[in-house]
Amino acid sequence: MKTNAARILDRLGIAYQLRDYDVDESDLSAESVARKVGMPPEQVFKTLVCRGDRTGVCFAVIPADTELDLKALARLSGNRSADTVALKEVQPLTGYIRGGTTALGAKKDYPVYVDETMELFDEIAVSAGMRGTQLVLRPADYLRAVHGTVGALAGAKQG
C-alpha cells in the first residue's frame, strides 16, 4: 500500500523502496525497526517532532541508535532552546502517530533538520508515514524532498 509520503516521492521522481515489517506495539523503537528491515541502526533515521522557542514546530531526523541533542537543534534552527513536543501533540500537529511519523506529507511543511551522518550512506530508511513500513532511499533525495537542513544533531544514547 502506498502512503502519502511515497506518493510525494513519486511526484518528485525520486526512486525508493518500501520495506514492510511486523509492528510490535510494545516495542516501537527505531532500533527494533532497523533490525526488522535488515539495516544497521545508524542508517535508519527516526523523525522527532520538536518545538523551538522562537521558530515553533520542526522535525529533527536522527539515527535510530542516537538521542537528539536539543542544544544542537536549537543552534541549528535559530532558537535559544528547543524540546520535543508531548506525545499527545504529535498527531494533531503532523497527522502521524508515534512510530509512523515522517517529515514527508505532514499536515504542514515544518522545517526539517537532519543529522549530518545521513550523508555518509548510500541509502537510508525513514518512516513511510505509517507503522510497519519504511522508505529506503538515497540521502540526497530525502534531503531534497523535505528541504532538509543538515547539521550535527545526534548524541550518544544514554544508558
Give the model's pLDDT for residue 27.
84
CB-based contacts of 93, cutoff 8 Å, min separation 6:
49, 57, 85, 106, 107, 108, 110
Question: Do 51 and 85 touch, CB atoms closer than 8 A?
Answer: yes
- How far is Cα 42 from Cα 117, in angstroms, rounded to an integer? 8
- CATH number of the domain within which 143 lies: 3.90.960.10
Indicate the pLDDT class of residue 20, thresholds 50, 70 and 90: very high
- How far is Cα 136 from Cα 139, in angstroms, rounded to an integer? 9
Give the model's pLDDT for residue 36.
93
- What confidence tens digit (pLDDT) does each residue in 70-110 have? 999 999 999 999 999 999 999 999 999 988 999 999 999 99
- How far is Cα 43 from Cα 125, in angstroms, rounded to an integer? 6
Q: Three-state DSSP class for 51? A: strand
Q: Domain limits at 38?
A: 4-156
* Average pLDDT along the chain: 94
Give the model's pLDDT for residue 158.
67
Domain count, the chain: 1
